[in-house]
Structure formats: C-alpha cells, structure tokens
Chain A
Amino acid sequence: MQTLLEQIFPNVMASPDKFWESVWATVVMTAWAGALMFVIGLCLGLLMVVLKPGGILACPLAYQVLDKAVNLIRSIPFVILIALLMYVTKAIMGTRIGIRGVIVPLVVGSAPFFSRQVEAALSDIPAGLIEAAKAMGSSPLGIIFRVYLKEGAAAIARGTTITLISLIGLTAMAGYVGAGGLGDYSITYGYNYNRMDIVWASVIAIVALVCLIQMIGTLVAKKNTH
C-alpha cells in the first residue's frame, strides 16, 4: 500500500504532513465559517421572511434594507471581499492573516447566499399553515420555531448542503491571506512546481469532503420529510 501510494503520489508522499495539514485547514475553515454562516444566515433568512410585506411581522422598510444589503454583499467577488474587509477582520479577530483572518470574509461571503436559501425554503411553506397557527393563537415567536423551522427543516438542510459546498470553494482562496488549505496546497506545491499528483490528491480530498457533506445533508433532509 505504502509503495503503491508512493508510486502514484510521489510528491505528496514525500511530505505527507503538508497534505494532511492542508486537509485539516480546509476542514477547520469550513467548520468554523459554516457554523457562523448557518446561525447568521438562518437569522437573516427568517428576518426576511417575517418582515416581508404580508409576513407575520411585516415591516416593508426593514425588509427592503435587508434585501438590498444581501444583494449588495452577494455581488462582491470573494477575493475582493477579503481585501475589503481587512480592517473589520482585524478589529474582530485581532489579525487579518491565517485561518483566523479568513473566517470573517468566509462568513460574510456565504451567509447572504445562505439567507436566500433559507428565505426560499420558508417561502415554500403553504401560507395556510401560518394562518392556521395564527388562528390557534400562536405568537410570532411560536410560529417561527414551531411552524417555520419545523416545517422548513428539510429544505433548510438542503440549502445548508449547497451553501457548505460552495463555502469549500471559497476556502480554496484562503491562501491569499496565508490560511493554507487545499486550494493553497495545490497552487503553491502543485501548480508552481508542475507536480500534478499534488493537484490530484487535493481534488480527491475535496471530492471526499463534498460527498460527506452531501450525504449528511441528504440524510437530515430525508429524516425531516414525511
């Protein structure tokens, strides 16, 4: 096995620690940014749904502001976002380089996208269910937790899967601020030295990661569909 791997991936196996370190960096970035993205995006998505005209806490002005802000942020390419946010990152995380330095742009780059996914998921819940809950005397908070989040769970799980996978795509650019990860690994050690085995190993690791996320997402969605 060892010799076979050394034959196929000679440069990876020359310093395997570097490879695992990169995988780990990608996982850590995805996990941290993913968790924060989930919480922030979920709140934003919920807010948009309830504040929308006709929503349970309708406030058209606040909705317009949120809606435009989400569109604005979503239109900025991620690499530029890293640059744009450097002082914000520094203020929040204390540094603007390394894994700590890339979490803020990752969250800002993915949460608005996720909030749209949440908004779409919750808008698909039949209006009649909200009306029935109101008629039964549920408060707005009760409707959010007992109707929106419960009935929308499967669709939210699918939206989370899509967003996490695109988040992994964003982590590939983390090398710009020295956060490492598989994107940085394949450019710095693969592309620059013309070592294709390093690129292939990165691809395999990323595909495995994506499959794992997709599997978990599908499972959660299935458990919440009846």
Chain B
Amino acid sequence: MIELEHLSKTFAGKDSVHALRDVSLTVQKGEIYGVIGYSGAGKSTLIRCINLLERPDTGTVRVDGVELTSLSASALNRERRKIGMIFQQFNLFATRTVLDNVAYPLRFSGMSRKAIREKAEALLKYVELSDKRDAYPSQLSGGQKQRVAIARALACDPKVLLCDEATSALDPQTTASILQLIRRLNREMGITVVMITHQMQVVKEACHRVAVMENGRVVEEGDVFSIFAHPRQEITRTFVDSTTNLNKVEDLLEEGAEITRLKPGEMLVRLSYQRGSAAEAIVSTVSRNFGVDVNILLGSLELIEGALLGGLVVVFSGQRQGIESALNYFREKNVGVEVIADADPA
C-alpha cells in the first residue's frame, strides 16, 4: 500500500540535520505499521514524507500505486484526500464546531450540503461523539479532540491513516481508548495505518509490524512479536525493556534489597517466554516433579497477537540436583533461562 524507496532528507542550517538517510520500507495493505524511535530519530520526518508535507531530497514515495513524488501540486492535493492524518496536538479548527471540523475536507468536493452534513454526522457517530457535534474544540477533552480529528481524517474515505504521535499528549486510559478506535477502524474499514510513537506500549497494543529508527535510519524491522521476543539492536532492546519490569531485579540486587539476599540452596533466575514457549502450567509442574520451591519475585507476561511473551524473575530453593533438573526442564519447554545469582556457585 505504501512503498518508500531510498528516502533521504537533510535540513540545511548551521548544523545541518540528516533527518532521513536512505530509508526504504513497505507497508502492506490493511496492516497497522508502527515506527518507533526517540525524538530526533527522523520518524516525524518519515511520516510527513508519506503525504509529502515534507518533500524528501531524494527517493520516491508510492501510495496505493501512485507515485506521489512525481505529481503536480493539484494532483497531489487530490491524492492527499485519500490519506488521512492525525496529530499529537489534534490540530482542530478552533473557530469551527465539531461538525464543521469533520465537514471541512468534504466542502468543495462536489457533495451537496445535505450529503456532507449526513456524512459528518455518521462519522461522529462512529467515533461516539454525536452529542458534541455543536460544541467547539475548546470545550472538549484531549481524548474527545482526538476522536474528532479521527472523524475528520476519515471524512474522505481514506485508504491510509497516518498517526503522528497521536496518543503522546493523552493519559494512559485515553491512549488505550484511542488505540482501540484505531484498531477498530483498521479492522472494520480495512484502512492501512502508519503510526509513529516513542512509546513501546503503543506499538505493543496496536501494531502488527514495527520499524525502529535511530539517527535517520531504520535499524530493525519486523512483526511485533519477534521484535519483542528477539530484539537485535541495542536501541530496540531498550524500547522493549521499557515495557517490562523484569530488569528491576538488577536494581534490587544493587540496592541489596531483602528479597534478593539468597540463603543457602537458593538460586535467582530470570525465565523468559519466547515464541513456542508452552502455555501450560510449567511452574507448578517443576515444583511438583523436582521438589523445588519457586518464589516469584517479578512477573511481566503478555499476550501479543495470541502468543505468550514476557518472563518471570524467580527464586528456586531446594536440592541442587532438583534445581538443575528444573532448569533443564524449562529449557526443554523453550523458556529462556538466565541465572542471575546463585547462593552456592559451583
């Protein structure tokens, strides 16, 4: 649906900034594609290149088979109507009512006033804001504003929706409801979504595939599960780690917290679930079969696209042989095992 080929963009200035360095990526029809990176990584420039709000210095942009980079200004404006966009700051027109904001892209599109009104009302109903249609944006909460912005972005029946940090100004609960709405319109209308964000949580909750950006390059790309299960780049690992609490154990060890002080016969272990890890009751099996006590200190497990991902930090205590067998049993079940501390090192 979206094909970006060899995009480069440099912002001239005293310290010229290479915002994009030879970025190529393809977004499939109907998927939700995330782009994650820290501020300054170039992700904002990247998403602006898709509808040419920012023109790349070199490279081509194709959306739905049309090469946007070769279009005239007026042809580009026509194509842009098929690409909805929402923003971190919502960007609603303060002097227009909610209904008029949604109707904005429809005016001068050849539709009658009545048809425009009906369409705008239907869209407001879709985002569950029918009761606010005569309100002005200043009277709405952040989440409501973003819903209006989404309704406006959908007005021209776009094939693509671009989300520029669309949830970064919202609280976690509102973020969840906006992501839910985006997933719904992706599922029900088949709209391809590209979202950029610096929050890994957003990627985890909403995206099918993700690209990680650093210094104007895409350094890693893949489906969300593999990125979470096997992050290859350092930066990807940092992002993935930001969504779990399993690394707290290192801090706890450093602080010498009570729970990490091992008694003889104990072992501190991090277990990580990966693709293909059995979703059966392994912990209780281990406890029963090998005579080992398992004390769970930290846990972070999630379902991503229907598969279990995450891990546990546990303290095993019991006979040395029993613990060794337990660790082997976990390995057999495709659970990653990492011994963090051992009370009786060999």
* Interfacial residues, chain A to chain B (CB-CB below 8 A): 126, 128-129, 131-139, 142, 146-147, 150-151, 153-154, 224-226
Contact = CB atoms under 8 A, between A and B. Distances in A.
11 contacts: A135-B162, A136-B80, A136-B105, A137-B79, A139-B74, A139-B77, A146-B104, A146-B107, A153-B95, A225-B95, A226-B95
Contact of A128 (B78, B89, B105, B152): B89
A131 B91 contact: yes
Interface of B: 51, 53, 73-74, 77-81, 83, 85, 87, 89, 91, 93-96, 104-105, 107-108, 136-138, 152, 156, 162
B105 A150 contact: no
- Closest 9 A-B residue pairs measured CB to CB? A132-B91, A226-B136, A137-B80, A137-B81, A128-B91, A135-B85, A136-B105, A137-B77, A128-B89
A20 B104 CA distance: 49
Given A137-B105, A139-B74, A150 B81 contact: no
Given A138-B77, A146-B104, 16 more contacts: A128-B91, A129-B91, A129-B93, A132-B87, A132-B91, A133-B104, A134-B53, A135-B80, A135-B85, A136-B85, A136-B105, A136-B152, A137-B156, A139-B73, A150-B96, A226-B137
Most buried by B among A131, A137, A146, A226: A137
A138 B78 CA distance: 9
Most buried by B among A128, A133, A135, A138: A135
Nearest to B101: A132
A23 B19 CA distance: 62
A126 B95 CA distance: 13
Given A135-B51, A137-B105, A226-B136, A126 B91 contact: yes
A150 B85 CA distance: 21
A123 to B, nearest CB: 16
